[in-house]
Structure 1
Amino acid sequence: MLYATIKVLLTSVLVVAVSEAAKRSALFGALIASVPLTSVLAMIWLYAETGDTEKIARLSTGIFWLVLPSLVLFVSLPLFLRAGLGFPISLTAAVALTVGAYFAMLYVLGLAGIEI
């Protein structure tokens, strides 16, 4: 239980660090958020718990393929906001488009015979 608590606290600190940094500088906040710290932590936790490098390799490959559709959020959200939509509507629409992009990517990967 202590191990899980440490994992949650460390991961939470990263999220807070991004939001606090973004208050001071959008560039610095974006830089911290763009570094795959969460993915690296997940790989570290997975290795520490299982020692299974094949699981880490599969996780890394899955992250690669699923980062691509996640970019839809970062393209569509500013477009919606700059078009004058409110933040809640813009975020909801961007998330909906991103979810659609995830399903489309999984479908295309399935057609290509790539398993995640």
Structure 2
Amino acid sequence: MTYYILKVAITAVLVVLISEISKRSSFIGAVLASVPLTSVLAMLWLYVDTGDVGKVSDLASSVFWLVLPSLALFVALPVLLAQGVNFYLALVVSIGITAICYWVMVIVLRYYGVEL
């Protein structure tokens, strides 16, 4: 149980740290947020938990294929905000658009024989 609390604490501290740094410098916050910290932490925790490099490799490969549709959020959100859409509505719509892009990507990848 202590191990899980440690994992949650480290992950949460990184997210809070990035949000606090972003208050002072959006550029530095963006640089830190754009580094795939979540993916790196997930791969680290997966390896520590399982010792299975195959699972880590599969996760890294899946993350690679899903980066492209995740970018839809970072296009849609600023466009919606610039059009005066309420922040929370713009965020929800952007997440919805991103979910659709994920779905389309998974279908396209399956068509070409790539299983995630």
Gaps of 5+ in 1: none
Q: Which residue of 1 aligns with 2:97?
A: 97
Distance 2:65 2:48 in 1: 24
Gaps of 5+ in 2: none
AA partner of residue 44 (structure 1): L
Q: Which residue of 2 aligns with 1:6?
A: 6
Q: Which residue of 2 aligns with 1:61?
A: 61
* Divergent runs of 4+, >4 A: none
Q: Which residue of 2 aligns with 1:31?
A: 31
Distance 1:45 1:93 in 2: 31
Q: Which residue of 2 aligns with 1:20?
A: 20
Q: How many residues are matched?
A: 116
Distance 1:112 1:69 in 2: 17
Deviation readout 1:43-85 (Å, 9 max, x if unpaired) = 1111111111010000000001111100000001000000111
2:60 aligned with 1:50: no
Q: Which residue of 1 aligns with 2:106?
A: 106
**What TM-score does the superposition give when structure 1 sets the normalisation length?**
0.97
For the aligned residue pairs, the C-alpha RMSD in angstroms reads 0.6
Cα deviation, residue 38, structure 1: 1.3
Distance 1:41 1:26 in 2: 23
